Amino acid sequence: MAPTDTRCFDEAAVEQMEHFVRDFGRMYRERNEALHEVTRAHHAALLHLSAAADLKDHDTGVHIVRIGYLAEALALALGQTVGYARMLRKAAPMHDIGKIGTPDNVLKKPGKLTLEERETMNCHSAMGAEILGRSHIPVFNMAADVALTHHERYDGQGYPAGLSGEAIPLSGRITAVVDFFDALTTDRVYRPAFSVAVALEMLVAERGRAFDPVIVDAFLAHAEAIDALRCKITQECPSFDELIDAP
C-alpha cells in the first residue's frame, strides 16, 4: 500500500474512532439522564406514599418534610459531609412509610395501646423497610435503614431488633432524635404539643438511654437554629420537588 493510501486509512480509522467515542458519550449521558429521571420519579412516588402514611398520624404531611430538613441540619452539626447530610434529607422523610399498613384504630387510638396493639404498631418499622426494599441506589438503601432502625434505642431496649449503640446506623440514630423532638412539639390526637423547653428537657432525659448522647449533645448545642428551621419549614411547607432537588 502506498504511503498516501496508508495515511488515508489511518485518518479514516481515527475519524471513525472519534465518531464512536462521541456516540458512546452521548449514549452514556442519555442513559444517565434516563436513570436519573426514573430514580427521581420513584423517589417522588415513595414520598407521596410516605405522606399518605403521615396523614394517618398527623393533620398535615409537613411532618415528613420537616424531618428531612432537620435530619440534614443535625447531620451537618455532627460534622458529616454535605453529601451525607443531603442524602439523609431525602431519605429520612420515608422513616414512617410502613404506617401505611397500620390500622387507624391502632394508629389514632387516643388512649394507651394494649400489648397486642403495641405489637401491631411496632410492625411499621419492618414493614417500611420491606416497602423500600434493597436497592443499588444509595438513597433508598439509607431510607430502608432509617425506616427499620429509627425506633431502636441506644440502650438496646428498642425494636425491631434490639440493636444498641453504634450498631444502630447513624442515619437511624439521627432521625430518631429529630423525630422525637418534632413529635413532641406537634399536636397529636392524644395530647397537645409540648413547649420547646419541655421537649428539650425530655430529650435530655433520654440521653444515653433512647438516644446517642453525642447526637443529643449536638442537637442541644444547635437547638435554637434547629427549632428556627422547624418553624420555617412549617410556615413555608416546601414541596417534595424542593426536598429532592434542593442543593
Q: Which of 99, 108, 112, 232 is catalytic?
A: 99
Residue 207 φ then ψ, to 5°? -65, 125
Residue pair 88/71 in contact by the 8 Å Cβ criterion: yes
Residue pair 107/56 in contact by the 8 Å Cβ criterion: yes
For helices 3-55 and 115-132, the axis angle rounded to 10 degrees is: 160
The distance of Cα 188 from the centroid of its chain, to the nearest Å, equals: 22
Residue pair 210/158 in contact by the 8 Å Cβ criterion: yes
125 vs 159: CA distance, rounded Å: 8
11 vs 169: CA distance, rounded Å: 57
15 vs 20: CA distance, rounded Å: 9
> How many CA atoms lie less than 13 Å away from 11 in the CB half-sphere?
6
Residue 232 bears catalytic tag: no
Enzyme catalytic residues: 99
